[in-house]
Amino acid sequence: MNFQASLTNSIKEGNKRFAILIDPDKYTLDRLKRLIKVSSKSGVDYFFFGGSLLTRDQQELFLTQIKESCNIPVILFPGNHFQINAKADGILFLSLISGRNPELLIGNHVVAAPYLKAIKLEVIPTGYLLVDGGNRTTVAYMSNTDPIPSEKSEIAVCTALAGELLGLKLIYMDAGSGATNPVPLSMIKQVKKYITIPLVVGGGIRTPLQAEKACQSGADLVVVGNAIEEDIKLVPTLSDAIHGVSR
């Protein structure tokens, strides 16, 4: 089953999903192998793979390692079109709809389109909303966009709604990797109330309780990266917290 179908199914069944963000710059091959093992045992649903800026050429090696050693689907979360890779299962085809940078609304998509057409990757049209997490993140700098202020839920709601009306299939609210504060729960609740497509939430989630609360507020899928890079023991506890939440 592809990513969109499996996520839609889990929502219908009232289940929440857990994705680990693998920024290949932050792992060695040995640490990646450990992460794969722990994730397989802990019921991790997806690996998101990518970063706003990659400086080490490890993508091919790491994707091969993941695909050869587990069944967890790998969804590319690309910072740019150099990160397109046919070894993955799918790609978040991101439109940075909280920003006003035309390259990230359509320019990069035009460049990527023929590559995506030529390879067998599930393309997931995604409305990406960057939300202020209290510090300036790499994604805010690299994308040259202003995040939505954390107290402006109405802007997030209208932006997410516009994304759905434009035909996007997923909304991803992100405070940015390493954010001081995650996306506010009140903002998640408001957005969830107005959209019918799946809602992904990530950025700055560091504890099982934060992950659980994000799910209870309406996140269908929670993404965690940094906290797991620092402490791999969080994987099973985060997984239990997220999967323990039902509608």
Pick from 79, 184, 198, 203: which binds ligand 1GP (CB under 6 A)?
203
Toward ligand 1GP, which CB reaches closer, 78 or 178?
Answer: 178
Is 177 a binding residue for ligand 1GP by CB under 6 A? The answer is yes
Residue with tokens 């998509």: 109
Residue with tokens 């929670």: 222
Is 223 a binding residue for ligand 1GP by CB under 6 A? The answer is yes
How far is C-alpha 13 from the geometric centre of its chain's CA atoms?
21
Residue with tokens 């989630």: 205
Is 148 a binding residue for ligand 1GP by CB under 6 A? The answer is no
CB 19 to ligand 1GP: min, Å: 9
Is 21 a binding residue for ligand 1GP by CB under 6 A? The answer is yes
Toward ligand 1GP, which CB reaches closer, 23 or 122?
Answer: 23
User: Whole-angstrom Cα distance, residue 52 to residue 50?
Assistant: 7
Is 73 a binding residue for ligand 1GP by CB under 6 A? The answer is no
Pick from 224, 234, 241, 245: which binds ligand 1GP (CB under 6 A)?
224
Is 225 a binding residue for ligand 1GP by CB under 6 A? The answer is yes
Is 214 a binding residue for ligand 1GP by CB under 6 A? The answer is no
Pick from 45, 122, 132, 174: which binds ligand 1GP (CB under 6 A)?
174
- Binding stretches for ligand 1GP (CB under 6 A): 21, 174, 177-179, 202-205, 223-227
